[in-house]
Structure 1
């Protein structure tokens, strides 16, 4: 059973042309599409009704008088439509060429094609492109071998292409005044291929209906309702109506009854939708800033901070390694100081033991106090000296770090300049096998830095000397080349004068050639007229010869038939005579005289038949000679 699959959501348009009637409400079915430029006729002005005029019959039935023109009514008429596309705009043509090139590349065009080649293609390339695109619509299509300039415009008209493509434009398809029209036809054909591919595989009556609906939508009731609605609205549209509110209301009521629509549920859903819309507007008003942009800005800030932290981390790691080295040196000094302190403690214990066990005199006590005061002053002065030394060391370390940072910056600049000059790495083009790369500054001491400076400066000086020598040689070569260029320019000026003289001669020869070509064309026209006259005379003679030949053939056939009849009668008589002779020889041995008499009679009859046969052969020979004469005359003509 044939089933028409339809949807209850006819919301998409059935044509790509703009709507003639605009409406703020959602229409159940789109109005019949018409062009903005009114290219298919005046749709809004009805024709005056005549008493004798014929009434046009619509697809859905007869419509009343005063009808409007259908968008399909003017197709094929005598008027040639003007292409509204800006085909003479260079930018639009370049855009079309790019679109054509992309389409051919995406669909596997069997050949090399480029935008440059499509600026002015040859007729052969155009035919190949047309055949490839048309084969996407009809895989069995083959390009005709003759009268291509007539067949291609005819095929485009059969497909529904509205704009004329003349026969003469096919002879010079790549010319600037004909290629844009042919390019427009190819783009229209590409759009047809895209529409065909989008609709291929769908067995639906309308393009945007899907298969995911209930069995009720595939039934007869919905199809009948929809076709009845389309019929009524189209008839009113052809009568001049632009709105179909009654039909929309009736169609809605029928659909609601058919699908058992709950009005209360619809109203509740509408109210819920309105509440959600109000909530959405309120939330949009509350958030004045774009959170996504804020988050993106915050992300960029965090990425910048992360890069700064990473650079600071690398700097701190290098500073940490430097401090670890310094800490290791201080640890060694601290161990030596601890050993020295331990020795001083032992000495103090020994002296304390001596002090406790011995008896001092007042002079010794005074001397010890004096020595103690001197030692305390010495310790305080040494402590101040130590603090000053530590402060000086700290300042020197800070200055050293700053110097190292400046050196690293200059080292980075040096490496950047060396890479630009192709001096590093050692295998670079201008390195000449020398290693000009300097490692981290902190890894070298002052003497090593001096050695590296000397190691880099000496090869660089040698390279500078080589470059200066090469520069001087190139300067000499430049002077010689400039002299050569001057000589060549003088030669070119002489050749330009010669070329001007040759161009003047060529122009004269072109004028003479054009004059000769006109004379040759005039003579060719005369020769063509003579050839046409000779062809007509030849056809007339061939017709006469063929008529005589057919008449002779008919006579020959009649004569052959007569000959066969006579030959058959002769054979029959001969057979009868032989039978009779056999019967007579076997039965009448005693009647020899009678048999001889009969034999003589039969012999006489046979002689007569032989004479008849000889006469027939003579007639056939005469007919053959006459036919040979006819054929010889026809060949001579």
Structure 2
């Protein structure tokens, strides 16, 4: 087996390696009894596929392959000895995402029985000691015999993450300020990644795909293919480019497993050739005649268009019918109202005709009455003019009276002012002599009112002096 034959759709050698790893390992090694490092290698590949939404292009974090016989690839069991720095696509600056990570970490610690007391609030800004304890607890699930060195934890923890295949570098300086706002998001995201690895391994252990005691053909075939894949990958990582030896080995085992012979294979190949020729012949016949499916699809599309037009036309007719029904109803109501009005006019006409037939005045009397009415109108018109003239004269007199009254009021006010200065008013004034010198104007008293006041005032003044 040549690598170029298995990846003929690719043109760049650098992109072959991650695609091969994804296709062979992720498809066949899942669930096998692998080492922790291989399993985390698969987890890393899946995470990159999801985050980058691409199938490992040439800018992937895998190291570039060094070809040549006997050369060893830069890898620890196919992992990440020389990784290019990639941008973290996770929204680490999003507070909602960080709170979600903290919640996941808290739930994991509670579920797996983390010893020290922990809460979501304490995980907001944990201390370095808390972080070291949490990391030791989680990594202890993966590797129970591991003991973290407390003196060099700031160097050892980033190294462990790197060996496990964590795709993003954790700087040594971040281990000194774990709970800082600029450091904790990437730390808690790394811890959540580690908890996902633990959950993946736990799920694999609970439901393994291969059991040593099984002997069914399918499972045994999967084991053979898994062994073949591991050997080819190991050979590939050591610089090998040809795999004919492994192909021959797995081919012989498969023939032995399925009890096949060369004659049987030749018969199957002949049958395959015949079927391929039959398929080619049928394809040629189909191409030579009109494509019925295309015709039917066009007919279906045309019929659907006609149905839509018919439905639109029916909707228009229904709307028109409703409008006509409404107009007919309005016309009927107007017609009924007109009939009632005509009947009322007929009755009124009959009444007036009856009155006209039974009236006691003759035509001459009516003419005379009309003449008298006209004379009365003339008289009323003349009287109206005279009334207007009288009203105008009355208005002029009222204006004249108002002016005179204003003048009189001014004179009376001036009189009262001087009388107060002379202490003639009020009646109890010093010089009044118990005489009321105040003038109280009464228009209804007539023209003698002023003469009466004049006489009264003069007599009183003479009597005082």
TM bin, normalised by shorter chain, reads: 0.3 to 0.5
Normalised TM-score (structure 1): 0.28
Structure with greater contact order relative to length (CA < 8 Å, sep ≥ 6): 2
TM-score by length of structure 2 reads: 0.36
